[in-house]
Amino acid sequence: MRILVVVQRYGAEVVGGSESHARVVAQRLAMVNEVEVATTNALDYWSWAPHFPEGESMDGPVRVRRFPVTGTRSPTFKDAERHVLFEPHTLADEQAWLAMQGPHTPGLLEFLRDEGKGYDAILFYTYIYEPTAAGLPLVPERAALISTAHDEEPLRLVPYRALFQLPRAFGFLTPEERDLVHARFHNSHIPSEILGIGLEPPPWHDPEPFREHYAPRGPLVLYLGQVSEGKAVDELLADWNRYRAAGGTGSLVLAGTARMQIPKQDDIVPLGRVSDEEKYALLEAADALVLPSHLESLGIVLLEAWQVGTPCLVSAKNKVTSGQVMRAAGGASYGPGGFAAALAAVLADRDRLGASGRAYAERECTWPAFDARLEQLVDLVAN
Amino acid sequence: MNRSSLLVVVQRYGDVSGGAEAHARSVVQRLASHFAIEVATTNSTDYLTWRGDLTAGLDRVDGVTVRRFPVERPRAWNFKLYERRAFRSRHTLDDERAFIDAQGPYAPELLDFLFKRGRDYDHVLFFTYIYYPTVLGLPLVPERAVLVPTAHEESAIGLAAYKPVFHAPRAIAYNTEEERRMVWRRFRNERVSNEIVGVGIDVPAERNATRFREKHGITGPYVLYVGRIGVSKGSRELFANYERWRASDPAHDVSLVLIGDAEMTVPRTGGIVHLGRLGEQDKWDALAGCAAFVMPSLLESLSLVTLEAWAAGRPVIVDARSPVLAGMARRAGAGLAYRGPAEFAEICELLIDDAALGDRLGRSGAEFVARTYTWPRVVETYVDLFAEIRMRLAA
């Protein structure tokens, strides 16, 4: 089968959830198919400045075609966006917003129109950017949309009204994403597959040093990821301090790049970025992982915690991560004021919840399980 | 009863010529008692210039509210240039978009209306895939859209810009099996819900061939054509075929009677009788008396008058190169298709000499029309398609 993956940015050094997912999918599919990627020469999504050389290159077995981005993101983009999201505006304003957002790559679009019919299936990543919004309508008869949508304002904009009716099939990251898209676009008749993600088995790691260090002070509660308000770490700190004030014990370890002020307290330990081995050592040593973020389209770190049998605590405000925890029966979710009680419940039942999470990760996130779902999706599109 | 609402979008509406427009109006008239219905269209009656010759704003036609949006610029004077650019094998997506704007009718306020108010209607029915209001309007309300494409093979349908029009709507109402097969082959959009709908044919109770002959002084057998007389309708070939036949076979004294406006010069050959545009009763009287009805046009998605000829019980002669007409004639068992002038002549002779054959084919045509192209069936099919849309929107 000849498969094309279209994504706004691509490469090992590209940071971004859907971009990483696209690369994993391209590499997995390339084990049994001829896979190509059509993308831009940009590395970041705020300037779309050229970084990679244009033209063809190989990423392992995957042929990558990079098309130039014409122009960079307009300096007035944020104003235009506020206008179409929050003020009275015209159809033309919304249509102009898409081009301003970028990345504008006429070469990629013409490639799709001219060469698209040479592929059995074309997988489009991320609904929001122009390569998908303008590219998928050129090849709807062979397109799958991996929308990576969440409940955000742009989803209401006019370029997406038809986009979500056009693909042959959808690949969703979670059942929550599927439900959101079906409710918004009334398109449940279009077949879909819940892809989730596949994970490598954890590398060799040693949790003992972390255990020995933290155990004497009580439970080790771990946060792993970007330390920022955007990820609701400020709320986590407030919840933690209330828990401590009410007599709770232990340490809150924050592993990840800090993008906010962290109070200097003995019980709050910022570690900065950690290596892969340290990450899994921390995950296994932790009594619980906590993920307070409201906006995750797939909580990969939860799956990683479950790989090593550690239960998770998530914010009930996030339907996706609460759904994951519920399906895995691998932890608990907490609403406002409920952090301490939920933490206590998880700690009291750590082994059982951790084992349940581990079983879930083994069922859902091994490569054979992921590859089977991918194959399903490709089959829905090709034929 | 709280009726569901329906907006019908079409490039021109009212007393205008044009098959798709007449189709839209007859469907609106039949659906008006089932839905709270409105029409969104332009203020033009002329598809060559899109001159805004009507007043923009609210209008009423047959008791139905019609919203006329202004055409903001006439069809580009150099439209042919845009056409050439877009139809080149190496053309850009910008060429396609420029072609669609240049082809018109360029009515951005109609799009803004669909953008802001389209979702206030339970369903939106778009007529004709090719024009600006449908290409750019349908993607604004796809979840409640039904398309009546009235498509046939032509250069424009190959443009990538039309793919969303055929993949995004909730349902497609095709005119014929042949049209559906052509669209499926081109777009691979089989998954879009669809039906063969078309129109209904109303046959007047009384049809009197003698009255027609006396009124217009026509004696002897005649072959009939009804419709616009022009190059794009295959009229030039029809005249040539008729003239060659008569020259080679003077024994058959058969006239060619033409009803309809001429956009080209009608030759002054003996036997060719051009009557201009006639009323409905005259038309049916003429159909009743013809030895055969001839439809030489190649580009038809549905020929109403061909259906009418069948409904009148007459056989039809069609060009074998027209997939829709030849396919329908074969399926109906009600017509003969010619490849070239020699076959045209043979078929004419056959039908003149063997009246029983013509009657048999005609009867078969009448049965075909009664099976497929009746208003009760058309209305019922639309009602079902729309119910399906409401069900999905409610889910």
CA-CA distance, B266 to B233, in Å (whole number)?
13
Q: What pLDDT, on a 0 to 100 scale, did the predictor assign at position A288?
A: 98
Higher pLDDT, B370 or B19: B370
Residue A166 and residue B168: Cβ atoms within 8 Å? yes
Residue B163 and residue A161: Cβ atoms within 8 Å? no
Residue A166 and residue B108: Cβ atoms within 8 Å? no
CA-CA distance, A303 to A310, in Å (whole number)?
10
Distance of CA B229 to the CA centre of its chain: 15
Residue B164 and residue A158: Cβ atoms within 8 Å? no
Residue B164 and residue A92: Cβ atoms within 8 Å? no
Tokens of A360: 């879930």
Residue A141 and residue B143: Cβ atoms within 8 Å? no
Using CB atoms, which residue from A113, A166, A186 is nearest to B93?
A: A113
For residue B65, the cross-strand partners are: B38, B60
CA-CA distance, B392 to B395, in Å (whole number)?
5
Q: Answer whether residue B1 shows pLDDT above 60.
A: no
**Whole-angstrom distance between the N-terminal and C-terminal Cα of chain A?**
10
Chain B contact for A166, CB < 8 A? yes
Q: Which residues of A26-57 are buried (b: 16+ CB within 10 A; e: fewer)?
A: bebbbeebebbbbbbbbbebeebeebbeeeee
Q: Answer whether residue B285 shows pLDDT above 80.
A: yes
Q: What pLDDT, on a 0 to 100 scale, did the predictor assign at position B18?
A: 79
**pLDDT single digits (tens) B6-26:** 999 999 999 987 788 999 999
User: Do the beta carbons of residue B114 and residue B9 sit within 8 Å?
Assistant: yes
Residue B108 and residue A113: Cβ atoms within 8 Å? no
Q: What value of ipTM does the predicted structure carry? A: 0.88
The crossing angle, in degrees rounded to 10, of helices A339-348 and A350-364 is 90
Q: Which residue of B has its CA nearest to A94?
A: B115
Pairs from B208-211 (Cβ < 8 Å, separation ≥ 24)? B208/B285, B208/B288, B209/B285, B209/B286, B209/B288, B209/B289, B210/B289, B211/B285
**pLDDT single digits (tens) A120-170:** 999 999 999 999 999 999 999 999 999 999 888 999 999 999 999 999 999
Spell out which residues of chain B touch residue A136, defining contact as CB-CB under 8 Å.
none
Nearest to A150 by CA among A106, A199, A183: A183
Interface A-B, measured as beta-carbon pairs within 8 A, has a size of: 69
Chain B contact for A117, CB < 8 A? no
**Whole-angstrom distance between the N-terminal and C-terminal Cα of chain B?**
22
Q: What pLDDT, on a 0 to 100 scale, did the predictor assign at position A383?
A: 67
Q: What pLDDT, on a 0 to 100 scale, did the predictor assign at position A176?
A: 94
B208 pLDDT band, cuts 50/70/90, is: very high
Tokens of B19: 């098959």
CA-CA distance, A237 to A234, in Å (whole number)?
5
Tokens of A12: 């090992």
Q: Which residues of A336-361 are buried (b: 16+ CB within 10 A; e: fewer)?
A: eebbbebbebbbeebeebbebbbebb
How many CB atoms within 10 Å of residue B190? 10
Q: Which backbone phi and psi does A334 adopt, to 5 degrees?
A: -130, 140
CA-CA distance, A344 to A248, in Å (whole number)?
9
Nearest to A178 by CA among A138, A300, A169, A168: A169
User: Do the beta carbons of residue B103 and residue B79 sit within 8 Å?
Assistant: yes
Torsion of CA A342, A345, A351, A354, to 10 degrees: -20
Spell out which residues of chain B touch residue A187, defining contact as CB-CB under 8 Å.
143
